[in-house]
A and B are shown apart, each in its own frame.
Chain A
């Protein structure tokens, strides 16, 4: 029983902050229906011009597909590396596992601009071996995104493992299961939801990544955020409002789907 409920002042303050948090997302919606070519509120008539641009302009379509592809590759690579690492840490638990976890979380803690510089160094070096794997290439961007997203995946999988009952694994071991059997038949099925969430999060993070992508792409690997950035910096293109609305809706749908799927395991436990 909670004795101290928030008073009216606290509730009003919290709601004000809540409105502040939602405001820029809501502001995008009316702008996206403007018929004009400038960033204005629609006067009188609404128009879908800018939504049509998204499908008709090959630049938008190409970068959407590119971002989706990079997001998918990154998601698979990052989640696989993170899951394997987290399983090792969970089974290992020695003193220095803390050090290992600290090390792999570095890209999350180090300022993104420093990571960007670091990855720029890596990819320009790789470019000298072959142009298809380094700076401004799909492989290069995927590698960079994997570095940047893997700490988030590690955290997600470690959290899922922390909620797993160790006795299940002990029982399997007691009955003579090998390490591979324990992982494949006992541990992984129990943390599947956590791994799936990690994969989803990595996809979204890669799909939205801009800070590092700006440093490591120039003309070939124009991802969706990179294209949006160019439209935002020069003179603001209202097509960005349309793509923003699409992105917000897609994100909401993903979050909703996740909530629906999450329901089930909770019910099973209780």
Chain B
């Protein structure tokens, strides 16, 4: 029952933010899209480079590969953590909560720096290994792909926890009870009943983590040390080191298209989860 009297005031309340974002965000994005077809000269040249240039291609392929690996590891880790967070004892729940949410509030830079402190040539891991006599010289643990993956997984785990937790909380306890009543072992209940029931959450978490990982810039730039460049860093380099705004803009537009496609997929799965899953 909504009265029409509140319609105009309510609309007026939403207007400032909508207008602000229209002018400060949507409009400039079209400007960037315009750059992609006008710089350095009008035409679709930049998009041809996007599919033809071996450097751009290799960066895109590396980005997809790293993001895929990161997504699988992050969702798997998040599943273990969320399982204990949702179903564990009170103490376990509190501990997990601290582990998930304290890093979540800490700046990306601080966390990337933490990895440097751990993994760099004079860092904690190398100096302890040497002190223990396990290695002679420092190992190259940082400024490579595995360290980028570790840093990204670290940032993305909390984002996977939230969709997983909401899926795990809606699991009908009676299903598990029924499985046990029919004599299923604990392991069997977990793999054949619990995991399939939480699958919509897993799919949601996977898509969210993958979408977020695509745009990563700070963590790979610091931990990758300029060797394994990802798409976002390529945009930065094309903007500020070898001014090539057209290509930077074309990559941005391509990223938005990819993300929009993935979000469309997510929306479809979310609807399936609402109507098909649950009960």
Contacts and interface: CB of A to CB of B under 8 A. Distances in A.
Interface of A: 1-7, 10-11, 13-15, 17-28, 30-31, 38-41, 81-82, 84-85, 87-89, 91-93, 97, 100, 103-104, 106-107, 109-122, 125, 143, 146-147, 150, 154, 173, 179, 204, 207-208, 210-211, 214-215, 225, 228-229, 232-233, 236, 240-241, 244, 247-248, 251-252, 254-255
Interface in B57-115: 77-78, 80-81, 83-85, 87-89, 92, 95-96, 98-103, 105-115
A163 to B, nearest CB: 16
Given A24-B114, A24-B115, A81-B20, 18 more contacts: A3-B180, A6-B88, A14-B96, A17-B80, A21-B157, A23-B118, A28-B117, A84-B14, A91-B6, A91-B10, A91-B13, A107-B25, A114-B252, A114-B255, A118-B25, A118-B252, A244-B114, A248-B110
Contacts of A143: 24
B44 interface: no
B162 to A, nearest CB: 11
Contact of A104 (B18, B101, B189): B18
A207 B109 CA distance: 12
Most chain B CB atoms below 10 A, which of A15, A17, A93, A110: A17
6 contacts: A17-B80, A20-B77, A24-B103, A25-B106, A106-B25, A233-B221
Contacts of B6: 91-92, 179
Interface of B, secondary structure class, is helix
A39 B103 contact: no
Interface string B205-229: 0000001001101100110000000
A235 to B, nearest CB: 11
Most A Cβ at <10 Å: residue of B77, B85, B105: B105
Contact of B236 (A26, A89, A214, A247): A214
B186 to A, nearest CB: 6
B88 A24 contact: no
A113 B114 contact: no
Contacts of B85: 14
B127 A40 contact: yes
A57 to B, nearest CB: 18
A248 to B, nearest CB: 6
A92 B7 contact: yes
Contacts of A146: 20, 24
A38 B126 CA distance: 14
B154 A20 contact: yes
B209 to A, nearest CB: 13
Contacts of A100: 14, 18
**Chain B interface residue bracket vs A:** 35 or more
B113 A5 contact: no
B190 A4 contact: yes
Contacts of A109: 211, 259, 263
Contacts of B118: 23-24, 27
B120 A25 contact: no
A117 B259 CA distance: 16
Q: Can you list the 4 inter-chain pairs with the closest CB atoms, starting with the nearest?
A: A111-B215, A24-B114, A88-B13, A18-B99
Contact of A113 (B111, B180, B236): B236
A74 B17 CA distance: 14
Given A85-B13, A88-B13, A104-B18, A25 B114 contact: yes
Interface in B129-157: 154, 157
B239 A17 contact: no
Given A111-B259, A241-B117, A229 B109 contact: yes
